[in-house]
Amino acid sequence: MLKLYENTALEEKYYKCNVNGLDVYVIPKQMSTVYASIAVNFGSSDTRFAVDGKTLSLPAGTAHYLEHKMFDNPDGTDAFEQFSLLGANVNAYTASAKTCYLFSCTENFEECLKLLFDVVTKPVFSDASVEKERPIITEEIRMYMDDPYWKMHFSLLDALYHVDPIRTDPAGTEETIAEITPQLLYDCHRSFYTPENMALCVCGNVDPKTVADIAAECIKPSNAEKPLRLRPEEPAEIRTGRAESSLDVAIPLFAVGIKCTPPKNGDELMRAEAENEIIVQAVFGKSGSFYNKCYETGLLGDHYSCGYSNEAGAALVMVYGSSTDPDRVYELIKEELEHRKYSFCTSEEFERAKKVCYSSALEAYNGTEETANAFLGFVFDGGDLLRYTDFLRGADYQSVKARFTAEYRCDRSAISVIYSKEDNNG
C-alpha cells in the first residue's frame, strides 16, 4: 500500500499511500524534530461554490476564521493546551489556495498526530465561540494594516487582477468578518474538509506504516457531495497598473509585478516554475546587469528581492525593494525586459541562474518543516518536489527564452509603491 519514490542524487525519498480518500506522504529524515501538516485544499481564494443545489458566497476571511475556530474543543478548552502538554508546537495558516494545520515535536509524535486529526475533523462552533474570536482576529487584521510590505503586496495584486480573489487579504476586513456565522463555518467544513480534499505530509524520523495506520484510524471515508468551485474568469490583461499609498516608512518601498499565464497542473506546472525561476534569476538576480546598474547608481540597496509565485491559479513574477525613486526603477525594469527580448542572456548567465535555483531548491531539504512545506506546495497541483530539481537542471535554453519572450510583457506589469509620509507632504 505504501509506495516509495526516490531521488538518489539528492539522497531523498518519500512514501505515499491513500487512506480512506486521504493522500498521505511520509518523508523520512534523520532529525530530532518531526513536522506534520494537514493541508486542506480550501483557501481564501475559494470565495464561491455550489453544493447541494445551492450557491454559497463567502465573506472575505471565512477560510481564515474557520482555521481559528477549528482549535476549539467541545468541552470549551482548546487544542493548544493539549499540544503544549505534549511539548509540541501547533499552528495553522491560511493561504489563498489552502489552509494548513501543523505541528512540530521531538516526542509524543503519535499522540500529536491523532490530536491534529481531531483538530481538522471535529468542528464545534457556537454563537458564543464564534463571537469570542472576533476581537482577536480584528487585532490580527489591524496588526497587518501597519505592515507596509503586506499593504504593498496586496495593493500590487489589486493593480494586476480584476476579479481574482487573490487580491484580497486572507484575513478579510473588520466588516467582512462581522458576517461570519457558525452555520457558514459548518457549511464550509462539510464541503471542503473531506479526505479527498486534504493531504497529510509528515517529515522526520518516523515509521511510514505507523503514520498510515493512525490516518486509517482517524479518517473516515466521506460521502459529502463534492463542491463545485465557482472562480471568476480573470482576464489576461492587468487592471490598473499602478497603486500607491503612504505610510510611516523610512524610504519608499516598491513591488513590481508581471502577470503570467497560469500553467496547467502536473509536469507543465513544475516546468513553468523551474523556467520562471531561472528567468527571474538571469534577468533580475544579484549578479545580473539590472540589479548592479541600480546598485552602482544608488537606486537600489541590499533590500531587494525577486521571485516567481503561482498560487491558487494566479501566476506572477515579483521584484521588490526600497528606493528613493521607485518609478525610475520601474522604467529600468521595463527597459531591461525590452532589451532582453533581443539578447536574452548568455549561456554562462543561464547556467549560473540554474545553479542559483538548484541551490535554493536544495535548501528546502535542510529541515523537516521546510521540506514538508515545500512538498505540500505541489501536492494539490499534481507536482512532485523530488522531481523539481530535474526540471531545473534539464531546463532548455530555447524553451526558457521562448517563455520569457511570450510572458514577460511590459503591458502585463504593474507597480505598487508605499511612499513615506514626509515625501508626500513635502
Q: Exposed e or buried b for every residue in 227-266, given b needs 16+ CB within 10 A?
A: bebeeeebeeebbeeebbebbebeebbbbbbbbbebbeee
Q: From residue 305, how far is each of 253, 285, 334, 387 by CA, in Å?
A: 12, 8, 17, 26
Sketch the per residue contact string, 248 through 287, with another protein: x for CB under 8 A, - otherwise: xxxx-x-------------------------------xxx
Q: What is the DSSP string of 179-197?
A: T--HHHHHHHHHHH-SGGG
Q: Work out which of 149, 230, 338, 382 binds another protein, going by CB under 8 A.
A: 149
Site for another protein in 87-116 (CB under 8 A): 87-90, 104-107
Q: Which ranges of 43-147 does DSSP label H, i.e. alpha helix?
A: 62-69, 79-85, 109-121, 127-145
Please tell me whether residue 328 binds another protein under the rule CB under 8 A.
Answer: no
Q: 278, 44, 275: which is closest to 171 by C-alpha?
A: 44
296 binds another protein (CB under 8 A): yes
Contact 48, 192 (CB under 8 A): no
Per-residue contact string for residues 204-243; x = within reach of another protein by CB under 8 A = ----------------------------------------
Q: How many residues bind another protein (CB under 8 A)?
A: 69
Q: Binding segment for another protein among 23-31, 93-101, 210-218, 399-407 (CB under 8 A)?
A: 23-31
Strand arrangement, sheet containing 314-322 = 242-247, 413-420, 253-260, 314-322, 304-311
Contact pattern for another protein over residues 71 through 90, marking x by CB under 8 A = -------x-xx-xxxxxxxx
Q: Which residue in the set 356, 372, 379, 400 belongs to the binding site for another protein (CB under 8 A)?
A: 356
CB-nearer residue toward another protein: 162 or 393: 393
All cell numbers assigned to 151:
499593504
Query: In angstroms, what is the minimal distance from the CB of 106 to another protein?
Result: 4
Binds another protein by CB under 8 A, chosen from 359, 382, 402, 423: 359
Does 6 engage in binding with another protein (CB under 8 A)? no
178 contributes a contact to another protein by CB under 8 A? no
Q: Establish if 295 lies at the interface with another protein (CB under 8 A).
A: yes
Positions annotated as catalytic residues are 67
C-alpha–C-alpha distance, residues 307 and 291, integer Å: 14
Give least dist CB 141 to another protein, A: 9
Eight-class DSSP state of 72:
B
Closer residue to another protein (CB): 303 or 328: 303
- Which letter, b or e, does each residue of 26-42 get, where b requires 16 or more Cβ atoms within 10 Å of its Cβ? bbbbebeebbbbbbbbb
Q: How many residues does the chain have?
A: 426
Residue type, 54: K
- Taking the C-alpha atoms of residue 151 and residue 257, their distance in angstroms, rounded to an integer, is 14
Nearer to another protein, 48 or 144 (CB): 144
Residues near another protein (CB under 8 A) are 9-10, 29-33, 78, 80-81, 83-90, 104-107, 132, 135-137, 139-140, 142-143, 145-149, 173, 245, 247-251, 253, 285-287, 289, 292, 295-296, 298, 301-303, 322, 352, 355-356, 358-360, 362-363, 365-368, 393, 421
